[in-house]
Amino acid sequence: NHPFQVNKQGHLEIGGLDTTILAEKYGTPLYVYDVSIIRDNCRAFVNTFDDLGVKARVAYASKAFSSIAMLQVVKQEGLCLDVVSEGELYTALQAGFPKERIHLHGNNKSSRELSMAIEHNIGCIVVDNFYEIDLITGILEEHNKEIDVLMRVTPGIESKTHQYIMTGNEDSKFGFNLQNGQADEAFKLLHNHKSIRFKGLHCHIGSQIFETDRFIKATSVLFEEISKWNKLFGYTPEVLNLGGGFGIRYTKEDSPAPYQSYAEALVQAVQQHVEELNIPMPEIWIEPGRSIAGNAGITLYTIGSMKDIPGIRKYVSVDGGMTDNLRPALYQAEYEAVLANKAMDPVTNEVSIAGKCCESGDMLIWDLPVPHVDHGDILAVFSTGAYGYSMANHYNRFPNAAVVFVEKGEDKLVVKRETYQDVVTNDLSYE
């Protein structure tokens, strides 16, 4: 069920290369991406809008996985880019990402971040709150500049996803609430400001969402507001940014719709409202992160110690864990995996994959069906391309793992493995 082949030796391949050879060459834990899948994912969204003849922007949400090489691939595919911090913006600039295609997000953008964005004339700032409006207008006036702005609103929609990755419900730290007049107040400030080119609205209802009807509902909520502003002020939005959050397959329980159908549903919903209101069709912007990077990446680990508690469970430990993939510990996220060097061997038992951190919660996978496991086997965990490397941390002073890109039968190191020197590089002596 994963887009990866097995070769004649019974080893898992990625992009036509033997994963066990990659593990040996670069060491483990190792993130490996099949770049052709990243490109296919980008094109699925872009082509759908093109085919529908709708003006659109597909902005990759770089929080899912940001590195210079990744952003270069996204740039080559002609996408725009969503950044949420100075660090993500800096990475984008280092990758040579066209500035006019960069959008800045965040619920607490600093004055420095906003100044950097404005100095570099990035494509758009998605304004989140009143404090930020003050900061932006101050900076714009000081530098005598203008910038494109979208206003982030909270549509008050509960999405069926983990509580930590819900963002569109009313009780959310993000955006202006629609229900209590905040959005109206912000609208007046933005709409009337001479240095702000107020382009339209943004909303993001959450992440790992499978149902297109949630997005359609969000569109309706936005249009209630637009229709009100249209009647009161003759307002017509040039842009509607409907965020990201399109779900991917982690395990057999997940059944995401094809990416095309999300884009089609959004366009259809907007078209319907636009006709009702008799206003021009706005540009549709979306911000997929996980659905671009997630299924393109796998993580390779080497199996070390094992602990059998007869009648209860067999723990099999790998050389990584919550330091390279925080999602199981943070969200009880589930993954599928295979023994990469025994990908065709018959399954004989179930084991639970433990990480190496000093923390009982550092479990990557519970009850994974596997063939007989030996020390030194290579475990390949699927769909780790989003929010794996990007949420990596240094707990227990583990250096961050390396990232390799594979394309057209060739492998290329794109993020070096950290060294222990890197880990202590900012430590200063107290002797």
Catalytic annotation, residues: 13, 358
How many chain residues interact with ligand LLP (CB under 6 A)?
A: 21
Neighbours of 171 (CB within 10 A): 9
CB of 293 to ligand LLP, least distance (A): 8
Closest CA to 246 of 60, 14, 2: 60
The interface region with ligand LLP, picked from 191-199, 240-248, 255-263, 403-411 by CB under 6 A, is 240-248
CA separation for the pair 351, 329 (Å, rounded): 18
| Residue 287 annotated as part of some ligand binding site | yes
CB of 151 to ligand LLP, least distance (A): 13
CA separation for the pair 209, 160 (Å, rounded): 7
Q: Which residue in 20, 62, 67, 207 binds ligand LLP (CB under 6 A)?
A: 207
Pick between residue 292 and residue 354 the one whose CB is nearest to ligand LLP. Answer: 292
Q: Which residue in 29, 244, 328, 371 binds ligand LLP (CB under 6 A)?
A: 244
Asked whether position 295 contacts ligand LLP by CB under 6 A, the answer is no
CA separation for the pair 391, 324 (Å, rounded): 7
321 in Cβ contact with 281 (< 8 Å): no
Q: Which residue in 57, 103, 105, 356 binds ligand LLP (CB under 6 A)?
A: 105
| Residue 290 annotated as part of some ligand binding site | yes
Structure tokens at 49: 């809008």
Q: Which residue in 245, 256, 321, 328 binds ligand LLP (CB under 6 A)?
A: 245
Segment holding 316, helix H or strand E: strand 313-318
Asked whether position 384 contacts ligand LLP by CB under 6 A, the answer is no
What is the length of the chain? 431
The interface region with ligand LLP, picked from 23-31, 40-48, 264-272, 287-295 by CB under 6 A, is 287-295
C-alpha 14, offset from chain centre:
21
CA-derived radius of gyration, the chain: 23
Helices 212-233 & 259-277, crossing angle to 10 degrees?
20
The interface region with ligand LLP, picked from 22-30, 65-73, 202-210, 213-221 by CB under 6 A, is 202-210
Asked whether position 327 contacts ligand LLP by CB under 6 A, the answer is yes
Asked whether position 212 contacts ligand LLP by CB under 6 A, the answer is no
Pick between residue 174 and residue 223 the one whose CB is nearest to ligand LLP. Answer: 174
Number of helices and strands in the chain (H, E): 12, 20
- Residue identified by tokens 């395990």 is 251
CA separation for the pair 347, 371 (Å, rounded): 4
Binders of ligand LLP in range 342-371 (CB under 6 A): none
Segment holding 402, helix H or strand E: strand 402-407
CB of 61 to ligand LLP, least distance (A): 3
Asked whether position 288 contacts ligand LLP by CB under 6 A, the answer is yes
Please enumerate, by residue number, every residue annotated as part of a binding site.
Answer: 245, 287-290, 327, 331, 359, 387
Using CB under 6 A, list all residues that contact ligand LLP: 61, 64, 82, 105, 165, 167, 204, 207-208, 243-246, 287-291, 327, 386-387
